[in-house]
Amino acid sequence: MYESKSTTDATTIDELLQRLEQLNAIGASLSSERNITQLLEQILLAAKTITRADGGTVYRMLEDGQTLRFEILRTDSLHIAMGGSATDTIHFADLSLRLPDGSPNDSLVAAYCAIHRVTVNIEDAYSNPHFDFSGTRQFDQTTGYRSQSFLTVPMCNHDGDVIGVLQLINAKNAKSSDVVAFSTADQQLVESLASQAAIALCNRKLMTQLEYLFEAFIGLINLAIDEKSPYTGGHCQRVPTITMMLADATAQTQQGPMADFVMTDIDRYELKIAALLHDCGKITTPVHVVDKATKLQTLFDRITLIDTRFELLQRDAEIAALREQLALRPCQHFDTESAITARLRESQTRMKADRDFLRKANLGGEVMSDCDLARVQDIGSSYTWRNAEGLQTNFLSADEMENLCIRKGTLTAAERDIINYHIVATIKMLEKLPWPKHLQHVPEFAGGHHERMDGKGYPKGLTRDQMSIQARMLGIADIFEALTASDRPYKPGMKLSQAIRIMINLKDQGHIDPDLFDIFCQQNVYRTYAEQCLNPLQIDDVPSPVQ
């Protein structure tokens, strides 16, 4: 420990006990702080409080281990507040622990403290011969301040490495407010605080690193889904955006059924993780089902096979007609030949119409009527063609018939079950993880976004009262993103007015939470998201009743 004076303590036992109680309270406060910048600011303010210091600075050690950076600076009497929660940023140059020749920079007190890992307690900077205070004198001349007593303490982690430096300036006498030296009690208390602060800071940095690592793993899962299918990777990123917008809007609501809903930073983080993982089960879903853009698509769109069959039918019809005409030779029967040609053209016209109909039906863009379904059945059974084995067979196979008869969309019932299973897989995957207490609701939040308020959803058939508010938020976000997404293979992204109109119907049908959807509309969450994430051509006027 470096001291430029012999300190004597006039601190009473009662005062010391009071300051120790302050130290304990500060330590408890530091352990609960999650934001590193706010943590550093608390450290400085706490040190100033227990020593009655007029000013102070927190330096943070950079990753190179050779540079100190000004992080937080406060001087009460000059009304100086820089860094941290203050609006003014610190523009002072970093302090290097080494001179250009590589020797230790022992002339600067903060650098000396970090290099040698010792506390430096100085009664009067102007009379101290050991350190260069020329910068301090220049500051004093500019501001009219008088920097006098200094207490500089290293903050070391469990490995003994310096992670920062805490420096206090101008201790004040409790009764007269005169500047005095920092006492031995002051020094011991600040050293204890620095030790607690270093532990809290290291723990917070470690937790932050683990959170970054965890989120990176989540990103890895979403990347794997994205690599499987470019149509779902964007969904995994956009749903969290909508979810958090809705969550913030709900937390800010001061009236109505959601007026009591509040979210802490920890709550927000838990919901964010759940939103990022809400579709992680899609990693188990076959690509050909996820990417099924048309009814006949598997590894490729089988409509091309049907096109080929039509071509073969037309060729066979033409050959049959020519053969009939040739059978009339050398006799000339003009009327008969004309009738053959007419039948050929009629047959080809019908085939072309049926082919165009099947191509349209294959897209799955509109709900098919009973007449349309009957026509598919008729086409499949009325035509026959000779397959590769030379056998006459029905024009459409049973599987092709089933797919082309899908009333809405492009998925069969079996394929929809496969898609729906992703939520079961999501729940199974998430429930396998040993979630810490602050993330224990992630499986429930993520696993409930396909449930309905009326209990007709999946996989558990939960009702509104059985679901958390967060799960209901995810349900709204998931639907709205799906409606407006422009990167899906089976549809273009809807305009806002169309998407909101559909969601109003879903609210009326008991599909989504009505109170949350009202906030979604009244607080313009949908428009805020649209302006940030959608194609400008999708943004149109939404009917005023939902505003």
Domain residue limits at 256: 229-286+414-546
pLDDT value, residue 257: 94
| Domain match, 428 and 470 both | yes
Are 48 and 186 in the same domain? yes
In this structure, what token pair is assigned to residue 144?
């009219």
Domain assignment present for 217: no
Q: Identify whether residues 346 and 419 lie together within a single domain.
A: no
Q: What is the pLDDT of residue 7?
A: 42
pLDDT of residue 187: 93
**Same domain membership, residue 418 and residue 401:** no
Whether 214 maps to a domain, the answer reads no
Do 124 and 8 lie in one domain? The reply is yes
Distance, in Å, from the CA atom of 357 to the CA atom of 430, rounded to the nearest integer, reads 45
- CB proximity list for 284: less than 8 A, separation 6 or greater: 421, 422, 425
Of the three residues 358, 384, 410, the one that is the final residue of a domain is 410
Residue whose pair of structure tokens reads 């009702």 in the numeric block: 463
Beta carbons within 8 Å of 428's beta carbon, 6+ residues apart:
281
- Of the CA atoms within 13 Å of residue 268, those in its CB half-sphere come to 15
Omega prior to 330 cis, within 30 of 0: yes
Domain membership flag for residue 223:
no
Q: Of the residues 410, 429, 461, which one is the last residue of a structural domain?
A: 410
- CA angle in degrees (0–180, nearest 5) for 341-345-348: 135
For residues 378 and 448, membership in a common domain is answered with no
Grouping H, G, I as helix, E, B as strand and the rest as coil, residue 175 is coil
Q: In this structure, is residue 195 part of a structural domain?
A: yes
Structure token pair of residue 539: 């943004």
Residue 426 confidence (pLDDT): 84
Same domain assignment for residues 249 and 155: no
CATH, residue 92: 3.30.450.40
Q: Note the maximum CA span of the chain.
A: 136
**What's the helix, strand, coil split of the chain in %, to 5?**
55, 10, 35
Domain contains 317: yes
User: Residue 297: inside a domain, yes or no?
Assistant: no
Q: What angle do CA 492, 497, 498 make, to 5 degrees?
A: 45
Count of positions (residues) in the chain: 547
For 81, the 3-state DSSP assignment is strand
**CATH number assigned to the domain comprising residue 487:** 1.10.3210.10
Are 433 and 374 in a shared domain? Answer: no
The pLDDT assigned to 11 comes to 53
Closest CA to 304 of 355, 354, 361: 355
- The confidence score (pLDDT) of residue 182 equals 95
Of 410, 426, 454, the residue at which a domain comes to its end is: 410
In a domain, 222, yes or no: no
DSSP 40-80: HHHHHHHHHHHHTEEEEEEEEE-TTSSEEEEEEEEETTTTE
Encoded tokens for 80 = 């100086």
Within a 13 Å sphere around the CA of 239, how many CA atoms are in the beta-carbon half? 30
**How many independent structural domains does the chain possess?**
3
* pLDDT averaged per 10 residues in sequence order, the chain, 547 residues: 46 63 63 70 86 93 92 94 90 93 94 96 94 93 94 90 94 89 91 83 81 85 71 75 96 93 93 90 65 57 68 78 76 76 88 89 81 90 74 82 81 69 81 89 91 90 94 95 75 85 93 96 94 91 68
The answer to whether residue 211 is domain-embedded is no
Q: Are residues 455 and 542 in the same domain?
A: yes
Residues 122 and 86 grouped into a single domain: yes
- Residue 334 and residue 465 in one domain: no
**Together in a domain, 354 and 368:** yes
